Structure 1
Amino acid sequence: MRLHRAVVAAIGAFALLTAFPASASAANGTLHYVNVNGDDFSTNNPVNGECYLLVAGAAHVDNGTDTTATVFGDHGCEEILGPPLPPSTARDFGATVPHSVMFH
């Protein structure tokens, strides 16, 4: 009987551990950008691997996080636009501006 209870308890504990997904990691800090209309936007502690839309396209991006950011020319984080932005770096964009960003 004790063995049966121990097995049931172990199965229950395993089920609880696998029922909840691991928490998503996030970049620590703030992504700040100025869009082509001159409007300021910020995102605090963005989640790694999530695609973020840059409203109206970004003329300037400041990666104030501790994680590398990749900017994309499209709205769905598929068309990479230039080299990644390392942590604590900024970049100005000319005629071709990014429309989305992802941290990794």
Structure 2
Amino acid sequence: MTVRTLGKKFQNITINGNAVFIATLIAPQDNPHGLILRSCSNGREITYGTSRPTGDRFDLTQIRIPTAYLLTNDVFVPAGNGVFMNTSADFVIPVQMSWDVLNADGTVA
């Protein structure tokens, strides 16, 4: 059994799902060379795209990442894309995630 790499950057936050329908976890401007999303546990759908979805939380212009996929796999998010989460009507949504940012040559920073 291989050991998974944890990202060098971590985020442990709580989101109020009644106030926000789509939460920005990593903004597009914070991803200049791409990143590798190592883990994200929150039980909700994660998407990524070049801009934050507007209106409908199930915007089909975003690339969807199944929740269970991040438990065992890493996800490459291309440069200029942000990571977003669809919330639900819940006051307390914990999000624990880790990721690595990449250098311009594709190596982990």
Sort the TM-score into its range (normalised by shorter chain).
Answer: 0.3 to 0.5
* Higher gyration radius (CA): 1
Higher strand share: 2
More helix by share: 1
Q: TM-score, normalised by structure 2?
A: 0.40
Question: TM-score under structure 1 normalisation?
Answer: 0.41
